[in-house]
Copies of this chain bind each other. A is one copy, B any other.
């Protein structure tokens, strides 16, 4: 709580000199003054008051990690392994770069806006927002914003997003299943496909669905409309979906791909509870590669993404923007980073012999 003024008095110099010492402008200070001031600073554990710095600089050294997930969809969003992992890696990277992390979970973008203004945050990492949300922030703020997993329209510009090869990942998985002899394959995912495709924009789960469809198409295999479906966010309602699939013998599918590991695991538990053996009776795959997939026996075959690296990358990108203010001026710029996925082959896929 000691101030520069007090330090100055103790060291018998002016506040300016202390400030110069603090900022390493050693050429402006005589060697012995330097030593004296440094000693006093040290002895008194001087820490700069960030409030005052904010006022002076109009910046805060705060990076906000905003979780804008729709509340009704995702309560306790931070307990989601994917989100927790992002929070973890972002926190680490932010701190390593000398910034502070403000964590703010709110689906109301206007509230997020207020928070960002009030704290003059230097950058925003935005998770769980749609492009409309991104632009609402973008248009009301001069702060750099990097989104994770937001899908933009083809003609959108003026954004930075750290995305994932959702399409390619799922396609690779389905290709793999086809290679293993599966021809009737289902796809189940959390997102509500029907209300998703307004103005031609993709979304994470929709993109995975497209990968699934294209893999089958390109292999010349037919797809039944029964085979892909959006899962409900309410677990109780989902149980009815699992039930229906079971009662209908999985609509003839020998394999079901899930849009996320959590859904795959939940379904797997349900089917096993009802006497099915995985993968003997049904092949199941997930998406994400969270460690929970390795807790189940058999271990979940899945599409892996390096969440840690994505969080780090988001921070890297935000720092670039912060350090190069000009980058914010070009309204035609768009940076869409597509991180790779890879198949994680474990124990939930059955190889079907040709004779079947």
Q: How many residues of A contact B (CB 8 A)?
A: 52
Distance in angstroms from A216 CB to nearest chain B CB is 29
- B103 near A115: Cβ-Cβ < 8 Å: no
Q: Is the interface of A mostly helix, strand, loop or mixed?
A: helix
- A118 near B81: Cβ-Cβ < 8 Å: no
Cβ of A153 under 8 Å from chain B: no
A296 CB contact (under 8 Å) in B91, B117, B296: B296
A76 CB contact (under 8 Å) in B100, B269, B297, B308: B308
- A52 near B49: Cβ-Cβ < 8 Å: no
On chain B, the residues within 8 Å of A256 by CB distance are none
Cβ of A106 under 8 Å from chain B: yes
On chain B, the residues within 8 Å of A91 by CB distance are 78, 103-105
24 residue pairs A–B, Cβ–Cβ below 8 Å: A45-B113, A45-B114, A47-B118, A49-B118, A49-B120, A51-B55, A51-B119, A55-B55, A76-B85, A76-B88, A78-B88, A79-B85, A87-B87, A95-B106, A102-B103, A265-B295, A266-B295, A269-B294, A272-B297, A273-B297, A292-B292, A292-B295, A295-B295, A296-B297
**A residues touching B (Cβ–Cβ < 8 Å)?**
1, 45, 47-55, 60, 76-79, 81, 84-85, 87-89, 91-92, 95, 100-106, 113-115, 117-120, 140, 265-266, 269, 272-273, 291-292, 294-297, 308
